[in-house]
C-alpha cells in the first residue's frame, strides 16, 4: 500500500508539472495565435473582435499570468480544452474525440500484437538457442532498421500501386458514411491492414531481441539450475522461472509504448493519410493551432503517466523485491 501511495503521489506531481509546462509553452512561443487566426480568415473576421478572441482563447492582456493560469485549470477541470483554430469554432475536445478512436484502434492493436508476438518468439528463441528461430533475428532486425517512412512507401508502391491489393491512403471508403455497421467496419479494417502490418514489422524485432537477450541471461541464473535439479518440467521452468523474470524490461517498454499509442505514430498517419490524432497534431503545428496542440500534448502526457503507473503496479505484482525496496 505504501508503494502504491508513493507512486500515486509521484505521478500526481509529475502531472501537475506537465500541465503547467503545457500552459506556459504556447505563451512563450513567438507569434500571436489570434493574429494568425485573423490572417487565416483573410478579412472575414472584424479587427474589433481581437480583444474578444484573446479573451475567448484565455490570452486576455488585462489578466495577469496567474489569473490566466487559474482560469486554465478551471477550464481543464470542466473538461474544456478551448476552441480549435484549424477547425474554428469546433471545440478541441470534439476534434480529439473524433480522431482518437482511429489511433487507438490502429496503433493500439498493432502495438499489442507486436509485443505479444515479439515476446513469445523471444522466449523460445532465448530458451532454445541455435534453433531455426534464431535465424529470424537478422531478418527482423534488418526490416526494423529500415526507416519507417521508407518502409511505408515501399508497401504502398508494392501492395497499393503495383498489385492494387490494398488502398494507399485514408481510414475508410469515402463513399461510406461513418457508422457502426458491417460495411463501414469492414472498410476501416481493410484500410488499416497495410499501415498495421508495417507497424508490426518495424516494431516486432525490438521485442524479440530484448526478450531473447534477457532469456539468455536469466537461463544461467542459479534459481533456474535449481528448478531443473528439482525435476520440474521444461515448460514450467521456462515460463514460471526464466520468462517471468526476463519479461520485466519488456513490460516497462510495453507500458511506455501504451502511453505513446495515444500520440499515434505520426509518420504512419502522414504516409497513409490516416485520420488519427498524430495527423491532427501535424495539421495543428502547421496552422499554429495552439489550443489543439495543447489538447493533444495534454492527452499524450496523461496517457504516458497513466501507462507508467500501470507498469509500476504490474512490476510490483511480478517482482516482490520492488515492494520491499519501497
Range from 22-26, 116-120, 187-191 carrying the lowest mean pLDDT: 22-26
If asked whether residues 147 and 290 sit together in one domain, one would say: yes
Choose one of 52, 78, 104: the last residue of a domain.
78
Residue 45's pLDDT is what?
Answer: 64
Residue with the three cell numbers 495534454: 298
Note whether residue 137 is domain-resident: yes
pLDDT above 70 for 320: no
Domain termination residue (choose one: 78, 108, 127): 78
Same domain flag for 40 and 96: no
Tell whether 132 and 45 lie within a shared domain.
no
pTM of whole model > 0.85?
Answer: no
151 with 219, same domain: the answer is yes
Same domain as 223, residue 133 = yes
Assess whether 296 and 162 both reside in one domain: yes
Strands (E), 127-279: none
Q: Is residue 326 part of a domain?
A: no
pLDDT digits (tens, 9 = 90+) for 75-98: 888 877 777 877 777 888 888 888
The reported pLDDT for the residue numbered 56 is 66
By CB neighbour count within 10 A (0-12 exposed, 13-18 middle, 19+ buried), where does 199 fall? buried
Q: For 219-241, b where at least 16 C-beta lie within 10 A, e where not — what string?
A: beeeebeebeeeeeeeeebbeeb
Separation CA 169–CA 33 (nearest Å): 31
pLDDT at 33: 66
Domain membership of residue 83 (yes or no) is: no
Do 130 and 8 reside in the same domain of the chain?
Answer: no
The DSSP element (H or E) to which 129 belongs, if any, is none
258, pLDDT greater than 80:
no
- What's the number of domains the chain is made of? 2
Same domain, 65 and 210: no
150 and 2, same domain (yes or no):
no
Report the pLDDT averaged over residues 127-145.
Answer: 78
In a domain, 170, yes or no: yes
Of 78, 100, 134, which closes a domain? 78
Band of residue 262 on the pLDDT scale cut at 50, 70, 90: low
Domain assignment of residue 322, yes or no: no
Residue 306 lies inside a defined structural domain of this protein? yes
Residue with the larger pLDDT of the pair 216 and 265: 216
Give the chain's mean pLDDT. Answer: 80
Buried b (16+ CB within 10 A) or exposed e, 262-276: bbbbebbbbbbebbb
Residue 115, domain CATH: 1.10.3720.10
Same domain, 44 and 128: no
Which long-range CB contacts under 8 A does 169-176 form with residues at least 24 apart? 169/272, 169/273, 169/274, 170/272, 170/273, 170/274, 170/275, 171/102, 171/274, 171/275, 171/276
Contact predicate 12/295, CB 8 Å? no
132 pLDDT higher than 70: yes
Q: Place 42 in a pLDDT band, splitting at 50, 70 and 90.
A: low
pLDDT at 297: 83
Least confident range from 27-36, 208-217, 241-250: namely: 27-36
Least confident among 16-25, 38-47, 154-163: 38-47
Query: 325 lies in a domain?
Result: no
Torsion of CA 279, 283, 285, 286, to 10 degrees: 140
Of 220 and 261, the one with more pLDDT: 220
Residue 247, class by beta-carbon neighbours within 10 Å (0-12 exposed, 13-18 middle, 19+ buried)? buried
Q: What length does the chain have?
A: 326
Q: Are residues 99 and 241 in the same domain?
A: yes
Query: Do residues 67 and 132 both lie within one domain?
Result: no
Range(s) of the domain holding residue 39: 1-78
Above 60 in pLDDT, residue 325?
no
Identify whether 106 is part of a domain.
yes
User: What pLDDT does residue 170 have?
Assistant: 82
Amino acid at each position: 500500500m505504501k508503494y502504491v501511495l508513493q507512486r500515486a503521489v509521484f505521478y500526481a506531481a509529475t502531472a501537475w508539472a506537465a500541465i503547467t509546462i503545457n500552459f506556459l509553452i504556447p505563451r512563450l512561443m513567438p507569434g500571436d495565435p489570434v493574429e494568425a487566426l485573423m490572417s487565416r480568415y483573410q478579412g472575414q473576421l472584424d479587427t474589433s473582435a481581437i480583444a474578444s478572441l484573446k479573451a475567448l482563447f484565455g490570452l486576455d492582456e488585462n489578466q495577469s499570468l496567474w489569473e490566466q493560469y487559474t482560469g486554465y485549470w478551471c477550464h481543464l477541470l470542466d473538461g474544456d480544452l478551448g476552441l480549435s483554430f484549424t477547425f474554428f469554432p469546433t471545440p478541441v475536445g470534439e476534434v480529439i474525440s473524433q480522431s482518437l478512436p482511429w489511433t487507438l484502434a490502429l496503433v493500439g492493436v498493432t502495438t499489442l500484437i507486436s509485443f505479444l508476438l515479439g515476446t513469445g518468439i523471444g522466449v523460445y528463441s532465448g530458451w532454445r538457442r541455435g534453433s531455426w528461430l534464431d535465424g529470424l533475428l537478422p531478418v527482423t532486425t534488418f526490416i526494423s532498421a529500415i526507416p519507417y517512412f521508407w518502409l511505408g512507401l515501399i508497401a504502398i508502391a508494392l501492395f497499393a500501386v503495383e498489385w492494387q491489393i490494398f488502398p494507399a491512403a485514408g481510414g475508410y471508403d469515402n463513399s461510406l458514411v461513418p457508422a457502426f455497421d458491417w460495411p463501414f467496419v469492414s472498410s476501416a479494417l481493410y484500410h488499416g491492414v497495410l499501415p498495421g502490418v508495417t507497424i508490426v514489422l518495424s516494431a516486432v524485432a525490438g521485442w524479440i531481441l530484448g526478450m531473447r537477450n534477457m532469456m539468455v541471461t536469466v537461463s544461467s541464473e542459479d534459481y533456474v539450475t535449481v528448478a531443473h535439479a528439482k525435476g520440474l518440467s521444461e515448460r514450467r521452468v521456462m515460463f514460471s522461472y526464466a520468462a517471468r523474470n526476463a519479461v520485466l524490461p519488456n513490460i516497462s517498454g510495453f507500458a511506455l509504448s501504451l502511453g505513446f499509442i495515444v500520440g499515434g505514430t505520426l509518420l504512419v498517419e502522414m504516409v497513409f493519410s490516416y485520420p488519427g490524432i498524430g495527423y491532427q497534431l501535424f495539421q495543428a503545428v502547421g496552422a499554429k493551432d495552439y489550443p489543439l496542440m495543447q489538447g493533444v500534448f495534454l492527452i499524450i502526457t496523461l496517457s504516458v503517466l497513466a501507462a507508467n503507473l500501470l507498469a509500476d503496479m504490474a512490476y510490483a505484482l511480478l517482482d516482490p523485491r520492488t515492494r520491499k525496496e519501497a
